[in-house]
Structure formats: structure tokens, C-alpha cells
């Protein structure tokens, strides 16, 4: 796994291996700058005196997970120096809906009464719902982290999920797909996304899927996307000359005419993300989902978000000289909540908390090392801390609480919280 390296003035240098980082720390030439993600700082080197290579950061935006990759063009070819995933914070819309229902409940009970506001909320041009805006912001935050840790010179992003121009607006016009290098990939990727990457009739996911006409061509069925679906060979042969409704699946025929709902959402966030990336001043390359899949299959890589990011855009080489053995997983956890009053299922207050966020020098989300001398949790624990005003803290790692009710006297801060959880996982291409 590559280790980020900074110079003595906190400017990014070329990443190094774990072994080299360990030697630099042992020889006193480097200091630990950050634990998560692990970054060292050289004490005897300046960026101006170092030889830097061009690093390109690639992004594959997604609704729940965004793939990230960093590539380096060297004399012997292109190698991947960083692979990772950004896990977006879930539940934003649900929390907003909950707040809205609580406000409505208070008004109905005439407690804390405030007249409802309407016709006075102007939305700026390019407004996005908070859940989508958060997704863009989290991606840009991760890009900023990489920009401060790697000598980035260019960015590639999957800006268009489905190349509608190459499809010739097939959803409504029904013309044949144009011939070319990516023939069939845009169309098939669209169908895979729309129908959940499974046979619409039997639900099989581990078998080859065929493009199938809902209304058969022999019965004047068209070739437009709204008349196409995916089925395994057995179901396709058994269906024969019948329509999906006659075959016993009227829901498939009803869903076929509906557009892909997530496509509109992702297209909206991609446009905002693309504009935000261009605002960084770095050259930005845009690619399509069909090209990404085509190039990933050419490299014989499995379906993973970081491998999709690695194959975004025309800058993808025909072969990579090296791939990392680990992928970093960055999960957006937030910086806490502003809710001062907890409520029950009926919206009535049941608990209150103070406005203080820091107790005994700790804040929820800080990375700590707890050395407990005795008791049920005797030992050394490392993870994120959940604080309490009484000084009895919990330590969690991997989303689970590994130690509870530990005194703050046994805890030592390793790194202050910044709204992210960092993990790494072993991968094999």
C-alpha cells in the first residue's frame, strides 16, 4: 500500500512503499504527519529539490460508493499507485423527512408554534437536493485530500453515465445503435443498470444475460431501449414469441416504459461534480460508462468501484505495469448532529444534551489509543471514541464498539476527528 509523503513545508511529494517509509522513520529522516490516511513528512527535503512525476486521479461517481484511483506515467509504462472507495453518508433524506414531520407535529399540537413558511424560499440556479449536494461535497473533499497528498496534474471523471448521443436518443426514436468501437457497450450497460444486473424473469445473476425484446420483433416490436430487457438463455427460449405480459410478467412490461430514475439523479450530480473539478484549475478528462466497462473488460479486471475508476477515460493505457495490493475505504461519517433534543416515536422530547462538544479534551470521532490496565476491557484498544459528559467513553472500530465505559484517563488522542472513517482492505486483481 502506497504511503503519502510530504516535504518539510507540507507540500506533496511522490508516494513511497511501506518498507521505504519504515526505513525513513527509523533513520530519523521522516516524521508521522497523519495516521489516517497514513502520511509521513520528510524533515530534510523540499518539493523544489525533488523530482516529481505526473499523477492522474480518476473518479467513478456512484450513488452510494464512488471509486477513486491514482495512476502514474513512468518510463516503463503506467502503474496504479492508489485505489480506493468513497462511501457516501446515507440517510440524509430520511433525517430531513423526520425533521419535517416533527415540525408539522409541533404545529398541530400548537407547541412552539411558528407559522409555516411558503413562497419565500428562493433556490439559486443549479440547486441540488441536500442528499445530492452532500455527495458532490464529499467527493470534492476526498479530491482535496488527495491533492494535498499527491502531486496531482490531471483528473479523469466518468461524466456521462450513458452516451445518449451515441444511442441516438434511443428511448424515444428507436433507431439502431451506431457502429463503432463501443458498439453495444453503452446499450448493454444501460440495460444492466436499469434491470438490476439480473434476469427479469427468474432473477438469476450468475449466468450470462441476453438482450431480449419485451414485444418480439416478429410481432412488430421495435429495437428501442424501452422495448429491451435482460434475460437468461433459458427464460429467453421459453418465452419464445410471447410478450412479457403474456409470459406472465406484466410488471416487466409496465416498468419497461419508465426511464431509469437513478440516471437522472446521477446525471445531475455528475454535471455539478464536473464543474467543481474544473474549478480546481487542473485539466479534467470526461469519459462515459460504456467506455469504462469496455476498458475494464479489456484489462480483465473484476467489477469493483476502484477498478472502474482505474479504467475511466481515453487516458487509460492498454496495460498497467503494477496494481496496489490494498484499497483504501473512506467512509463519510459526518461531524456529529446539531439536534439538541431527542424525541420518541411520537415526536415528544425525552432527552436533552448540552451545547458542549468537547469533554476532557476529547470529541466524538477522535482516533484514540486506550490502554486499560484492568477490568473487563483490560488491554490496548485502538479506534474512534464516543464521548460522554461523565468521562466514560466507548471505543469503536469497523462500525462495532470494541470497548465500552472506559475512563478518559486511559485514552490518548492519535488524530482529531475530521468527519471520515478510514479503513483498508486486501484486493487481488
What pLDDT shows up at residue 170?
47
Whether 170 maps to a domain, the answer reads yes
CA 404 to chain centre: 30
The one-character DSSP state at 95 is H
How many domains in the chain? 3
Closest CA to 373 of 415, 400, 404, 409: 409
Query: Domain range holding 238?
Result: 53-115+125-332
Mind giving me the DSSP string for 334-355?
A: -S-----EEE-TTS-EEEE--S
For residue 3, the number of C-alpha atoms closer than 13 Å in the C-beta half-sphere is 23
What pLDDT shows up at residue 58?
96
**pLDDT 10s digits, 361-395:** 999 989 999 999 999 999 999 999 999 889 999 99
Interacting residues of 36 by C-beta distance below 8 A, sequence separation 6+: 367, 415, 420, 422
Residues 202, 279, single domain; the answer is yes
Residues 89, 60, single domain; the answer is yes
Residues 232, 318, single domain; the answer is yes
Residues 81, 177, single domain; the answer is yes
What pLDDT shows up at residue 181?
46
Whether 96 maps to a domain, the answer reads yes
What pLDDT shows up at residue 176?
43
Whether 343 maps to a domain, the answer reads no
Mind giving me the DSSP string for 185-250?
A: HHHHHHHHHHTTTS-TTT---SS-EEEEESS-GGGT---SGGGEEEEEHHHHHHHTTS-TTTTT-H
The parts of the chain modelled with pLDDT lower than 70 are 110-118, 120, 160-186, 257-264, 428-429
DSSP lists the bridge partners of residue 61 as none
Residues 74, 152, single domain; the answer is yes
Interacting residues of 254 by C-beta distance below 8 A, sequence separation 6+: none
Q: Tell the burial category of 140 from Cβ atoms under 10 Å away from its Cβ (0-12, 13-18, 19+).
A: middle
Whether 290 maps to a domain, the answer reads yes
What pLDDT shows up at residue 392?
94
* All cell numbers assigned to 90: 446515507
What pLDDT shows up at residue 258?
62
Residues 268, 400, single domain; the answer is no
Provide the CATH number for the domain around residue 368: 2.30.30
**pLDDT 10s digits, 324-352:** 999 999 999 888 777 788 888 777 788 88
- Length of the chain as a residue count: 429
Residues 33, 108, single domain; the answer is no
Q: How many helices (H) and strands (E) does the chain have?
A: 10, 21
Could you tell me if 211 and 228 are in contact, meaning their C-beta atoms sit under 8 angstroms apart?
A: yes
Residues 39, 69, single domain; the answer is no
Residues 265, 130, single domain; the answer is yes
Q: Which segments of 27-91 does DSSP mark as H helices, in order?
A: none
For residue 380, the number of C-alpha atoms closer than 13 Å in the C-beta half-sphere is 2
Whether 348 maps to a domain, the answer reads no
Rounded distance between C-alpha atoms, residue 414 and residue 36, angstroms: 9
Query: Last residue of some domain: 281, 297, 332?
Result: 332
The one-character DSSP state at 286 is E
Rounded distance between C-alpha atoms, residue 365 and residue 351, angstroms: 22
* All cell numbers assigned to 369: 489509543
Residues 202, 274, single domain; the answer is yes
The one-character DSSP state at 179 is P
Whether 421 maps to a domain, the answer reads yes
Whether 135 maps to a domain, the answer reads yes
Mind giving me the DSSP string for 352-395?
A: E--S--EETTEETT-EEEEEE-SSTT-EEEEEEEE--TTSEEEE
Closest CA to 109 of 395, 347, 334: 347
Whether 138 maps to a domain, the answer reads yes
**pLDDT 10s digits, 142-196:** 999 999 999 999 999 998 665 544 444 444 443 443 444 455 566 777 788 778 8
What pLDDT shows up at residue 110?
65
Residues 397, 326, single domain; the answer is no
Could you tell me if 396 and 343 are in contact, meaning their C-beta atoms sit under 8 angstroms apart?
A: no
Give me the phi and psi of 323, to 5 degrees please.
Answer: -130, 145
Residues 294, 388, single domain; the answer is no
Amino acid at each position: 500500500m502506497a504511503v503519502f509523503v510530504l516535504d518539510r513545508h507540507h507540500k506533496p511529494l511522490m508516494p513511497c512503499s511501506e518498507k521505504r517509509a519504515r526505513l525513513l522513520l527509523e533513520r530519523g529522516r521522516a516524521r508521522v504527519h497523519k495516521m489516517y490516511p497514513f502520511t509521513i513528512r520528510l524533515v530534510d527535503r523540499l518539493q523544489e529539490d525533488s523530482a516529481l512525476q505526473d499523477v492522474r486521479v480518476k473518479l467513478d461517481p456512484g450513488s452510494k460508493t464512488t471509486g477513486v484511483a491514482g495512476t502514474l506515467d513512468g518510463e516503463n509504462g503506467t502503474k496504479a499507485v492508489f485505489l480506493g472507495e468513497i462511501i457516501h453518508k446515507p440517510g440524509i433524506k430520511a433525517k430531513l423527512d423526520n425533521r419535517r414531520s416533527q415540525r408539522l407535529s409541533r404545529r398541530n399540537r400548537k407547541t412552539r408554534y411558528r407559522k409555516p413558511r411558503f413562497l419565500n424560499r428562493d433556490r439559486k440556479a443549479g440547486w441540488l437536493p441536500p442528499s445530492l449536494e452532500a455527495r458532490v461535497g464529499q467527493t470534492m473533499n476526498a479530491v482535496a485530500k488527495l491533492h494535498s497528498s499527491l502531486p496531482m496534474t490531471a483528473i479523469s471523471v466518468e461524466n456521462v453515465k450513458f452516451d445518449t448521443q451515441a444511442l441516438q436518443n434511443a428511448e424515444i426514436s428507436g433507431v439502431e445503435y451506431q457502429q463503432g468501437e463501443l458498439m453495444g457497450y453503452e446499450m448493454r450497460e444501460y440495460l444492466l443498470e436499469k434491470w438490476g444486473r439480473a434476469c427479469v424473469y427468474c432473477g438469476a445473476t450468475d449466468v450470462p444475460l441476453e438482450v431480449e425484446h419485451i414485444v418480439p420483433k416478429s410481432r412488430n416490436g421495435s429495437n428501442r431501449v424501452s422495448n429491451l430487457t435482460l434475460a437468461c438463455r433459458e427464460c429467453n427460449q421459453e418465452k419464445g414469441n410471447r410478450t412479457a405480459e403474456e409470459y406472465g410478467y406484466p410488471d416487466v412490461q409496465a416498468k419497461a416504459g419508465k426511464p431509469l430514475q437513478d440516471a437522472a439523479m446521477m446525471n445531475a450530480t455528475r454535471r455539478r461534480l464536473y464543474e467543481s473539478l474544473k474549478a480546481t484549475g487542473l485539466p479534467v478528462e470526461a469519459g462515459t460508462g460504456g467506455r469504462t466497462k469496455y476498458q475494464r473488460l479489456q484489462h480483465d479486471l473484476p467489477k469493483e468501484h476502484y477498478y472502474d475508476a482505474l479504467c475511466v477515460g481515453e487516458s487509460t493505457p492498454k496495460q498497467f505495469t503494477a496494481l496496489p495490493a490494498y484499497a483504501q475505504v473512506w467512509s463519510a461519517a459526518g461531524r456529529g448532529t446539531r439536534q439538541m433534543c431527542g424525541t420518541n416515536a411520537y415526536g415528544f422530547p425525552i432527552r436533552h444534551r448540552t451545547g458542549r462538544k468537547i469533554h476532557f479534551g476529547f470529541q466524538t470521532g477522535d482516533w484514540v489509543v486506550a490502554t486499560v490496565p484492568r477490568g473487563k476491557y483490560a488491554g490496548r484498544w485502538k479506534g474512534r471514541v464516543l464521548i460522554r459528559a461523565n468521562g466514560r467513553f466507548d471505543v469503536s472500530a469497523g462500525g462495532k464498539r470494541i470497548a465500552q465505559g472506559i475512563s478518559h484517563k486511559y485514552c490518548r488522542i492519535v488524530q482529531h476527528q475530521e468527519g471520515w472513517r478510514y479503513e483498508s482492505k486486501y484486493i487481488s486483481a
